[in-house]
Structure formats: structure tokens, C-alpha cells
Chains A and B, each alone.
Chain A
Amino acid sequence: MNSILLYYWANVLKAIMLLLSLLLLLRGHNEPGGGFVGGLVVATAFILHALAQNVSAARRAVPVSPESLIAGGLGVALASGVAGVLDGRPFLTGVWRTIEAPLLGPVTLGTPLLFDVGVYLVVAGVVLKIAFAMLECDHAD
């Protein structure tokens, strides 16, 4: 689509959506949000990019390939489960540690967040992979 307005606002919106997705991901454990919806928002942002410009531009804008996102996400989710095992408890048991972060004070971090990051990456990767493939289809009939 050739539209200067869309081109401009898509970029602005994309940045906002990416930030929003991170916010959704991080607050998901206590407030509405989470990895699934966060991942969907990421994918939507890049699909918008693809519609405003073209698929190859959108592909370039994603730092890694959708396949890597999927693989990485599954890996992160699995790894978060292994943490419980290394702690001597069943696979996927949440492990929580409180650390002193500079500026923020004590922050409690747990493997469920890591697991959610995995979901986030997989969902984003899956939707992007399908969307890009569809957009790249020949539409000639």
C-alpha cells in the first residue's frame, strides 16, 4: 500500500505497540496481560509494518527470523522448567529469587516470568511466520 500517512503512523504505532507488548508481558503475572497476548501484539505490530511498506521491509525490521523466535521461545520455556529440576524439584516448578537491583530495590524474579517470555516469543514467531508466508504468496489469478 502506498500511503504516506500509513507509512508514517505505522512506524509510530509499531513502536508504541512493541512497548505495550513488553508492558503486557512484564505485568502479566499480577495484572491483566501475559506472554500470549504480548506475543500477539508484537506480531500485529510487524504485520502493520508489512502492510504499510512490504514484507521484506518487515522481515528486516524483525531482528531475528520467525523460525528463530519459535525455536528460541520453546528453548526458553523448556529452560525455565529445568531450573526447577536443578533445584531438586519437579520439572516446571517455579523457582523464585529476590535480588537487590540497583535503583529499584529488592525485586522478586521467578522462572514463571521466563516461561512467559518463552510463550511470548513462540506466539510472536508463529503468527509472524504464517503472516509473512501469506503476504508473500502470489496473488495472481
Chain B
Amino acid sequence: MSWIVILAPFAGALLVPFVARSLGRALGLVCAFAPAVVFAYLFRTLLDLHALGGHSPARLGIIPWAPSLGLDLTFRLDGLGIAFGLLISGIGVLICLYASAYFRGDPRRGRFMAYLLFFMGAMLGVVLADNVFVLFVFWELTSIASYLLIGFEHDQEKSRSAALQALLTTGAGGLAMLAGLVLLGNAAGSYDLTVIIATPGLAEHPHYLAILLLILAGAATKSAQFPFHYWLPNAMAAPTPASAYLHSSTMVKGGVYLLARLSPALGGTELWFWSLAGLGGATMLAAGWLALRQTALKPMLAYSTVVALGTLVLCIGLGTPLSITAFKVFLFVHAFYKAALFMVAGSIIHETHETDFERLGGLGRLMPATAIGGLLAALSMAGLPPLLGFVGKESVYEAVLYAPLAVQVFVGVAVFANVANVYVAAAAGVLPFWRRRSAAVSGAVHEAPMGMWIGPVVLGGLGLAAGLYPFIFGKVLLAPGGGAVLGEGLEFKLKLWHGVNSAFLLSMLTLGIGLAAILARARWRRFAGLFGWLDRAGPEAAYRGALEGMLATARAQTAFLQHGYLRYYLLAVLVCVIAAVAGASQLEIRPLAFELVGIRFHEIITVVLVAVAALGTTRVDSRFGALACLGVVGYGIALLYVFYGAPDLAKTQIVVESLTVVFFALLAAAMPGFRVLSAPRVRRRDAMIAALAGGLMGVLVYSTLAVTQAQPVAQFYRENSYPLAHGRNVVNVILVDFRALDTLGEITVLAVAAFGAHALLRLRNLRRHRA
């Protein structure tokens, strides 16, 4: 039952809101427990994997979900999934502590922690799922979780629109991806990733192009690749703990994960190389450019995240052993420093209420612990030895230097991206702390609570430790995962120092340009400001245009169709149904052969009564009269059910009929009396439509009697109801057992309808009070 561990964050998310208030300060520790358990479990599995030589991943928790569709909840633990899982849960622990301190005293704290844990669980599901549909479900759950987190400050328009933007963008991509996954599953003959990865020759499949493009659409929107990069910086509307988590180890890495996961199946072709490397390269350029123009801390870090995501996609696209090494190293490098820097930025803003790095300074003495964490992270981000960032940057350079094609292009792109990294690192992690105190920083600023600085310090320290002992780091954490990406064993021999070679020279060059840029930043920004028109024509403008166009279309068709006259709705619905059903079934009107034998007197009386009452409905000129007539029709039909041995239906019909009368009476009492009765012409039209609708139903019912099925479905239910479901009432057994999922859907619809009706009635009352 070890799969339960994977679902631990969901359990936490369900419980937290109820205990948040009574826990107080301990909340962070309690929340951190769920990811800590996951982390410990995954780490142990990783060690087991090493004992097995890095092969044969564990498959666990095969829970049948809809076995007839080949859909099972299966999870798979291999090096790649574990590497992502460790990041998600490990950084998750620190984020829980951070968030709890960040929201201290805020009444919404419990809710925020619940969303955060929900997010964590969804993300773990994505990286550990083995069935593609299970993966898709978790994938969409991360979108929903991020919607809740980004829109957390929901009283602000900016947060709401940013949340919607993220949801629409990643959701649209997700749907494309679903189509791609279905095609992929069909091509491979299985929906299990384990099988798909092991299927040879997928690249020759006729659907290969479609599969690749559709999946790429999902991955690119999720991982904010160009031209979908716009949503990620806007997602900064989320509270800082959420952005720190979102950027470092969750959601946005989902797309990168998927590409890495599928690269053994889909990679190795020229198309793969050009589309991924091209996408990654374009993203690095666009985001690097945008990052270099920022002065606000969080957007700057956000754009640099997009740069990193582009780098990761580029590395996967290159597809060489060197580039996969670079991918794995840089994945960890980035997660460590980005989570730390976001937490640091959050602490700074929390303490000083200042977001612009140009106005910050001298915080080193006031917030020493935060400053140390920030410095370590920034040095790693800038790629200075002996931190892990240096190892990461060298591997990326080596990967592009030995790329099979178009070396010059990718080397140039990589240098540009790293210059942006150096710049952002200096601006976000060094300058606010280590220069003269500025006027914006008052003396009242003091160190953030421990929960808020422990994360950056731990992550910064990890970056230093892993940089000093890269060999151990590579062997333990990266080796099993690399094989999963490349499809074969991959040696990880990371070294901190490997002599003065071209990669090292490129590093020096990057550092030089980056430092020059930060020193001459005022002049640089004036130059960059000349290109402001690019923003207005960018992809975000396209997104806004598409959204507005859709809303305008919706408004236009609503104005046309939802005119607010109930009787016209009814007319339209009835006419459409008559046309559709009569057209589709092409009814053969057979000679109706009534057998009058066996029809009893009381049945005839009832039928006549119903018919008279139905006619009466159209003749009376008060609402209550019509209501009474309708009641007679309803109860008469219930009687017919009784005569023909359907007590269940009869019972329900009687109760529903009574309630309908009550509801109608309540509504009718609220309405003004008839002022004008409808004109004779209108009445004739209505009568005709009513007669057509009724006649159609009658003919349909009659003709179903003539249909003979080879195996009547009723037979199955009658025979299996008792042996399979222990019930003698077949109707009820169908409702609660054979078709329970339908019933569940129906009661959900009922619930939604109730809230809708409530809202409408409230609106009516509100309008009246205002008037």
C-alpha cells in the first residue's frame, strides 16, 4: 500500500483547514510532515534502486479504476520520477515552513496551506503516474491548484485575471496534450508509460508528427515556453510562498518532465531536435531579454525562471549524453537557487514593503541569515565556483559546444541566457544586501522569522555542498534518472574543476558581460526602453485579443438566444426536439393495431380524465386553474403506472407531482395576474406544436414496442440484480449499483442546479431592494 504515501499531501490538504486555527505556530511543522514522509519514502526507494544497479523501476499501487477502458491508477518509481519527486517534496517541506511563517496571524492561513498541499499532491501524481490518463488527471489538477493559488488574493482584479490566464493557457495546452497522449497510446498499443517508452519505432509511425506537436503544445504551455511565456510572470500575483514553489519545483517543470519522460519514445529524430531546441532557444532569448529590463524583484526572477525552463527544454532537445547530464544537473541547480531567491525576495518585500531592487540596500546587516541564504543562491545562479551552479553552467556549455548541429547558434543563445542569469543574480541576491543602505530602507527592518530564512539557508548550503562534492551528488541523485531519459545507462562523473577549456572560457566571458551589464544598468535600461513597442505587439496581446473576441462572441449569442422569455425557450426546445427526433428516426408510421381486449374500465376512465384535464389546461384563464388541471394530468399518469405494475415510478411521480404543484403555486403567487390572454392565432400555433410533441412521444413509445432485440437489456438486469447486487428491486439496483456513476453525476448536477436557482432568486430580491 505504499502508494498511499504518494497521496499523503492530499490527505493533508483535506485536514489542514480544520486544524489550522488550533495549531497556531506549529502549523508549518504539521503541514511539512506530509511532504517529509514522501521525501523519506522516495529517498529510500532511490537507495533501493541503487542496490538494483539503477534498473527495474518499482511499479506500485495498481488500483483498477475503469479496467474496461484500460484505465488503472498505476504509479512508477524510476530515477527520473524520483528525482522530480524529491525536489517537489523536499522543497515542499521548506515551503510549508516558509508559508506558515509568511502567513502568521492571517485568518486565511489554513486555506492557503491546504491549496499548497493540494498542489504538491497533484504535482507528485504527475511525475509518478504510469498511466497516461492518470498523468493527465494530475496534470489538470496542478492547473486547478495553481488557479487557486495565483488567484488567492481574489479581491484583486489583477490576481483574478492572472489566475484565469494561467488556467486558460495551460488548460488549452492540456487538452491538446490529451489528444496527443491518446494518439501516442494507440500507436504504442498501451496507455502505460512503461510500455510506451519501451516501444521501438514510434518515430516511424504515421501519427508521429501529430503526436509530437500536440504533446509539445501541452508541455510548452505548462512550462511557459515562447510564445506562451506570458502567463508565468503574471502568476506573480500569487503570494510569494506559492510563486517560490511554482517556479522552483512544481507545475512549470511539469512540461519539462513530460518531454524528458517521453524522450526515449519520441526523441532521436531531427524533428524532435529542431522543435525542442528551437523552442528552448527562442524561450531563452525572449525571456532573457525581458528579465534584463526589469527592476522589480519578483518579475525579474520570474523571467529568469522562463530562461531556465528554456535551457532545460534545449538540453532535452539536443539529446546527447552530455546534454542529458546538463539537463539533470541544471534541474537541481535551478530548483535550489530559484526557490531560495524567491523566498529571499519574499522576505525582503515582507519586511521592507519595497519591490524595486534599485531602491533597496544595506539589508545585509539587518537581515543576516536571509542575506547569507540569498548570497549563496545568487552565487550559484551566477555560476561561480565552488557552487553547484558552476558545475551546472559548465555542463550546459559543454552540451551546446558538442551539439550535433548548429553549434554557433546555440552557443550564442546559451551565453546570452547566462548573462541574464548573472545580471538577475546580482540584482536580486547581492545588491539589496551588500551595498549602502538606501533611503527606502528604514531602521525598523529586522530579520524575518526563522521559518522564513531556514529555507534559503538550507538550499544555499545544499548548493555549496553539492558543488564541493559534485561526484557524490551526481552518483546518488542523478545517475538513475539520466538513464530514464536517454534510454540507456548514463555515467555521471561530475567534477568541479576540469581545467581551462572552451566551456571555462565561455564562463569567464559570461561573467564579464554580466558584471558589465549590472554596473552599467541605468544606461542599458535606457537603451532597452527604446523597444517598448515590442510588449504591445507580443504574444500576451494575442492572448488578450483572443479572450476578448471569445467574450464578445459569447455576449452576442447570449443576447440572441437568451432573450429571457420562457415561452419562447420552450417553443424553441420543443420545435428542435420534434425536428431532430422525427428527422433522425424517420419514423415509419405503421398501421396502429389496437387490441382493445383486456383494457379495463377504470383504465379508460383514467385516460379520458387525463385527456380532458390536458385540454382543460389550455382553456382556463387563471394560473391556478391551469395548475389544478396539470395536477390532474400528473396524478392520472401516476395511476396508470400503478395499473401497469410500476409502483416505483408511480410513487416518485406522485411525490414529484405534489412538489411541482407546490413550486408552481409559490411562483404563481409571486406573479401578477394575466393582463392579456394570448391571441387566438398564437394559441393555435401553440396547440399545434403541443400536439406534434405529444404525438411524437406517443408514436415513439408505440414503435419501441415493435422493436425486438436479440438480447433485451432488461433480461440482464432481471437475472443479475439479485446475484450481483443483492437487491430484488431492479430499478433501485440499476440506480445505485449498475449505473451508480450516472446517478452520482445526476445528484451532482442537482446540487449545482440548486445553487444556481438560489443565486437567481437572490439576484431577483437584490434587484427589488435596490429599485
Contact = CB atoms under 8 A, between A and B. Distances in A.
Interface in A78-118: 78, 81, 85, 88-92, 94, 96, 108, 110, 112-113, 115-116, 118
B651 A33 contact: yes
22 contacts: A29-B729, A30-B727, A30-B728, A31-B729, A32-B648, A33-B732, A34-B732, A37-B648, A40-B659, A44-B658, A88-B63, A90-B67, A116-B732, A116-B735, A119-B743, A126-B750, A129-B754, A131-B663, A133-B761, A134-B663, A138-B768, A141-B672
B765 A137 contact: yes
Contact of B666 (A116, A134, A140): A134
Interface string B713-729: 00000000000011111
Nearest to B651: A37
Contacts of B750: 122-123, 126
Q: Which of B652, B658, B741, B744 has the most CB of A within 10 A?
A: B744
Interface string B732-771: 1101110011011001101101110110011011001000
Contacts of B755: 129
A22 interface: no
B762 A133 contact: yes
B736 A134 contact: no
A89 B73 CA distance: 11
Top 9 A-B pairs, shortest CB-CB distance: A29-B727, A126-B754, A32-B647, A30-B728, A40-B655, A122-B747, A112-B736, A32-B648, A133-B761
A66 B735 CA distance: 23
A62 B750 CA distance: 20
B656 A139 contact: no
A94 B761 contact: no
Contacts of B66: 90-91
Contacts of A122: 747, 750-751
Given A32-B648, A131-B663, A94 B737 contact: yes
Given A47-B659, A137-B764, 11 more contacts: A29-B729, A44-B662, A47-B662, A74-B751, A92-B741, A126-B750, A134-B666, A138-B765, A139-B670, A141-B670, A141-B672
Q: Which of B63, B747, B762 has the most CB of A within 10 A?
A: B747
A131 B661 CA distance: 12
A26 B736 CA distance: 13
A1 to B, nearest CB: 12
A78 B740 CA distance: 10
Contact of B652 (A37, A43, A66, A90): A37
A34 B659 contact: no
Contacts of B753: 126
A4 B451 CA distance: 66
B731 interface: yes
B65 A74 contact: no
B732 A91 contact: no
B744 A81 contact: yes
Contacts of B761: 133-134, 136-137
B652 A36 contact: yes
A34 B732 CA distance: 6
B669 interface: yes
A57 interface: no
B64 interface: yes
Contacts of A29: 726-729, 732-733, 736
Nearest to B768: A138
B51 interface: no
A11 B527 CA distance: 82
B409 interface: no
A92 B742 CA distance: 11
A141 B771 CA distance: 12
B729 A28 contact: yes
B667 interface: yes
A118 B747 contact: yes
Contact of A133 (B651, B726, B743, B758): B758
Given A81-B744, A119-B736, A33 B729 contact: yes
A66 B741 CA distance: 23
B666 A108 contact: no
Nearest to A30: B728
Given A129-B754, A133-B758, A92 B740 contact: yes
A13 to B, nearest CB: 12
A82 B629 CA distance: 46
A52 interface: no
Contacts of B732: 28-29, 33-34, 116
B73 to A, nearest CB: 8
A135 interface: yes
A10 interface: no
A73 B567 CA distance: 34
Contact of B754 (A28, A41, A130): A130
A44 B648 contact: no
Contacts of A58: none
